[in-house]
């Protein structure tokens, strides 16, 4: 796997829905997202900007054959393990992982699967940092999020306030503006500085995961201004990262767990598919991906080319 790297940007609560005034992708342009998707992130079968035969593999089903609205706990667990965790739980469940999925997260996560291929734990990174109070609560209640549980179970270090202060981690909102004790640890930073940090992590690791949550929060708020701000941050961050990485050796993957922000007419999640954006070597590995279950395998394959 020497020389091959993968950056996974997970963006919570972004679906692809119909054109209309409730869809922020209808009223504003996000050029870096659109460049990878092939046009605006809209579900328009008559769109001339995206041929149907090209776009169909890049929309992922988040329903997974289970009734009800997709939720973060089972959606993220399915995304990061390739196992239908909604079916395992018997329902869509969230925001935390369902207890029936704990063993799946322990044995089948992308971190666990990469370790089984021979990748060393120190070459895998979860870029997000968490405040001290998060660790206190998680340990007391055994209440980890999907991504942090995957990391803990695989022996991947979860980054702390100290890592943020040292420039070796990112806050979940990219800049760290709302991180506790922000000023005392040198926050907020600019999106450009955040991009430098993620690229520096890539220099020292083969697989780097970053999780962004403000899109889901903005969707629940039903506020167009917050939605636009969250999407602009993602789009700017994506553009800055793409300008810094070598797409000859690094694969970039961006996707989500369920729809939400694309329909501000409701506070709830949606039944819409989620986008899958891929750039770099191994892009063809994802060509048959049609649901959240089809992402872990190609990610592992990108780092272990045959």
How long is the chain? 306
Other residues' Cβ atoms within 10 Å of the Cβ of residue 116: 11
Q: DSSP states of 246-300 as a string?
A: -TTTEEEEEE-SSB-TT-TT-SS-BS--EEEEEESTTGGGGTT--BGGGSHHHHH
Strand (E) positions, the chain? 5-11, 59-60, 124-126, 207-212, 250-255, 274-279
CATH number for the domain including 228?
3.40.720
Residue 101 in domain: no
Give the model's pLDDT for residue 71: 98
Q: Is residue 230 part of a domain?
A: yes
pLDDT averages per 10-residue partition of the chain, 306 residues: 84 96 96 93 58 57 98 98 98 97 98 96 97 94 96 97 97 95 94 98 97 98 98 98 96 98 98 96 93 97 84
Give the per-residue pLDDT at 283.
92
* pLDDT of the residue at 53: 39
- What confidence score (pLDDT) does residue 2 get? 52
Has residue 202 been placed in a domain?
yes
Whether residue 131 is contained in a domain is answered as: yes
Residue ranges making up the domain that contains 141: 5-66+120-303
Order of all β-strands in the sheet with 59-60: 59-60, 274-279, 250-255, 5-11, 207-212, 124-126
In a domain, 186, yes or no: yes
Q: Does some domain include residue 33?
A: yes
How many structural domains does the chain have? 1
């Amino acid at each position: 796997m020497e020389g091959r790297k993968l950056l996974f940007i997970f963006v919570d609560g972004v679906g692809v829905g119909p054109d209309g005034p409730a869809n922020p992708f209808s009223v504003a342009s996000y050029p870096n997202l659109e460049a990878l998707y092939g046009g605006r992130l809209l579900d328009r079968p008559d769109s001339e900007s995206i041929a149907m035969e090209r776009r169909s593999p890049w929309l992922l089903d988040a329903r997974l054959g289970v009734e009800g609205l997709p939720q973060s706990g089972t959606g993220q667990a399915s995304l990061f393990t390739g196992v239908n965790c909604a079916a395992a739980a018997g329902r869509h469940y969230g925001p935390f992982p369902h207890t029936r999925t704990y063993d799946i997260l322990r044995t089948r996560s992308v971190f666990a699967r990469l370790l089984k291929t021979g990748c060393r734990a120190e070459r895998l990174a979860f870029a997000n940092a968490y405040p001290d109070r998060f660790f206190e609560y998680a340990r007391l209640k055994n209440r980890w999020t999907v991504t942090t549980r995957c990391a803990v179970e695989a022996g991947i270090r979860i980054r702390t306030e100290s890592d943020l202060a040292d420039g070796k981690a990112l806050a979940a909102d990219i800049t760290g503006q709302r991180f506790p004790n922000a000023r005392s640890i040198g926050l907020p930073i600019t999106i450009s500085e955040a991009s430098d940090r993620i690229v520096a992590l890539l220099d020292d690791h083969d697989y780097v995961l970053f999780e962004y949550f403000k899109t889901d929060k903005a969707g629940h708020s039903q506020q167009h201004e917050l939605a636009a701000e969250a999407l602009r941050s993602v789009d700017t961050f994506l553009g800055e990262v793409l300008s810094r990485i070598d797409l000859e050796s690094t694969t970039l993957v961006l996707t989500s767990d369920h729809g939400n922000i694309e329909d501000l007419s409701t506070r709830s999640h949606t039944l819409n598919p989620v986008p899958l954006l891929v750039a770099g070597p191994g892009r063809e590995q994802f060509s048959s991906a049609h649901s959240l279950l089809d992402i872990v395998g190609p990610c592992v394959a990108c780092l272990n080319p045959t």
